[in-house]
A = this chain, B = another copy of it.
Amino acid sequence: MYVELDRESDLPLYLQISNQIRQRISAGDLPAGTKLPPERRMAAMLGVNRTTIVSAYRELAADGLVEGHVGRGTVVADPDSDATGAHGTFQIPWNQLFTSTTEVMNDPLLRDTTMISSRSDVISLATGIPSPELYPIELIRSLLDEALHSGGQTLLQHCPTEGYGPLRAALGRWMAVEERPIDPASVLIVAGSQQGLYLLARTLLDPGDLVVIESPTYLGALQVFRAAGARLLPIPIDASGMRVGLLEDLIARRRPKLIYTLPSFQNPSGGTMSFDRRRRLLELAERFRIPIIEDDPYSVLRYEGVPLPTLHALDQRGTVIYLSTLSKILFPGFRIGWIAGPQPVIKRLALMKQIVDLDTNPLAQWAVWALLDRGHLLEHVDELRSIYPYRRDLMLDALNRHCQGLLDWNRPLGGFYIWAHLRDGLRTRDLLPEAARFGVSVAPGESFHPDGEGESTLRLNFTLPAPEDIDEAVRRLAAAISSLRGSRGADDRQLQETATPIV
C-alpha cells in the first residue's frame, strides 16, 4: 500500500499515514471491505514503529472510515450503501462503469515492492534500470542542441506513425551486424518495448486465445497478455532456457496462437536459451505456423562466452517478430523501442499505433538515430560490457560472503539480473517487509510467474545500485533472511496474517 512519508514535515507520521489512507478511501481507491495491511507488516514496510500505525488506524476508526474485526484485522467501513452518501447525491458510481481490462493489473506485491524501493533509506535491488551515472548525458545535450538548431520545425512536428525513416534504417543496420540486412519497411518504432508488446497483443490476440510463455517471464508481458484476455500456457525454464522438449506435445494438443520468449539473459532469470533449443523452437513454430515473439532487450549485453544468434537471425521464413528497446542499453526516458518482423504485421501494428498514440516523439527518435549513425551507441554498449560484469561479480562475491546457506543463486553471462531461491521453503512475500526493515528491496519472483508459483524466488539487479552499496545491500538481505528464519517458528500469527493478500 502506497504511503509517502515526509520525515522533515511538522505533521506527525501517524497523521501523514491516516490522511493518505483517508484520501484513498474517499477517492474510491480502497472500497468498503478492503483489508488494510496488519499493523506490524505496515510498520515494517514504512520503517516506522508499530505504535505509529496503531495511532493512524485509530484516527481512521474515529472517523468511521475503518473498522476493526477480531480475526479479520482492520477493514474499510461500508459507507451509506445508496448513492446519497458522503460523495453527494449524483456522483457517478465509477466502479460500475470500468471495463475488466485493468483489473488484472493490481498486484499488491509489486505495489509494496515499489513503495519500499522508493524509500531513501532502502537500497533497491528490485528494478531493471541501467546505471544512471553511465548515461551519456553530455552527448545527448549536444545532440538535442544540434537537432533543434538544424531541424526544430520538423523534429517538433508529427512524424510518420511507423517512425522516423532514417532511424528505421539505422536499427535495421544495427541488427544486421549479427544477421542479414533488414528492410527499413520491416521496422516499426514504438514508445518503448512495453508499447511494442501491447500493440502485438492487441493486433494478434482475441480474448481466450492461448499464448505460450516461459515461466518465469517478464511481468509486463504477463500483464499485457492478461489484459488482452489471453490464456497463458507456461513452459518451465532450466539452465538452457525454455524446455522446448515440453512444447511439441502442448502445441499439438492446444494449438496456441503465439509463442513469447526472451531467449537471451532472460528477465527475470538471467538465463539463456541454448543454440540447439533455439533451432528446435524455430522448427516447431515453422512446422505448426505459430508466430514467435522474441523479446530481446539484453542480448548485446553479453559479458563472456560466445554470442548466440537471435531467433530472428535464424528465421528464414518470417515466423519471428523481434522486439527490442533502447531502455536497457541507453536509458529508459526517451521511450524508444522497435519491432522488426514481416511487413504485413508491421503494417497492422502501425494501424494500431495510430489509434493508440499517433506517433513517437521525433526529437528523441532523431537523437537515437544520431547515436547509432555516428557509432556512439556501439561505443556506449562496449563501455557497459566492460563495467557491468564487474558489478555482477561484486554482487556474486557479496552473496558468497553473506548468503551461504540462506540462498541459492545463478551466475548470468550477461544482462541485468541474478536469480535466487530462498532455502527451506521461505516465501519472498514474507521476506519483503523484513528486508524493508533492514533497508533493502528485491523483486519478488512470484510476480514473474503466471500461476502463483516461484514463491521462494527473487530477482536481484546489479546495474542500478551504486557499486559501493552492493555489498551492504546483500549484507542487509542476509540479515533479513536470518531474521525471517528466526521468527518463523516463534510467530505463527505472522504466517497467518501474510497468507491473506495485502492491499
Contact = CB atoms under 8 A, between A and B. Distances in A.
B358 A361 contact: no
A102 B132 contact: no
A148 B158 contact: no
B203 A99 contact: yes
B157 A140 contact: no
Contacts of A99: 202-206
Contact of A351 (B105, B141, B158, B206): B105
Interface in A319-350: 319, 331-335, 342-345, 347-348
A333 B317 contact: no
Interface in A345-398: 345, 347-348, 351-352, 354-364
B145 A332 contact: no
Nearest to A100: B206
A152 B135 contact: yes
Contacts of A152: 135, 137, 140-141
Contacts of A155: 333
A192 B204 CA distance: 25
Most buried by B among A135, A154, A157, A357: A357
B141 A156 contact: no
A155 B132 CA distance: 10
Nearest to A360: B335
A479 to B, nearest CB: 29
A158 B328 CA distance: 11
Contacts of A287: 90
Question: How many monomers of this chain does the complex have?
Answer: 2
A357 B137 contact: no
Contact of A157 (B138, B333, B351, B364): B333
Nearest to A291: B92
Nearest to A28: B344
A443 interface: no
B92 A195 contact: no
Interface residues of A toward B: which range? 35 or more
B333 A363 contact: yes
A92 B342 contact: yes
A500 interface: no
B355 A198 contact: yes
B94 A357 contact: no
Contacts of A129: 157-158
Given A101-B352, A291-B92, A135 B156 contact: yes
Contacts of A91: 289, 317-318
B153 A93 contact: no
A198 B156 contact: no
A251 interface: no
Interface in A254-302: 257, 286-287, 289-291
Interface string A388-416: 00000000000000000000000000000
A227 interface: yes
A191 interface: yes
B137 A148 contact: yes
A142 B356 CA distance: 31
Given A90-B317, A99-B204, A132-B156, 16 more contacts: A23-B185, A27-B185, A28-B343, A97-B204, A97-B257, A98-B203, A101-B202, A101-B203, A105-B355, A158-B333, A191-B191, A194-B355, A194-B358, A195-B356, A227-B352, A335-B358
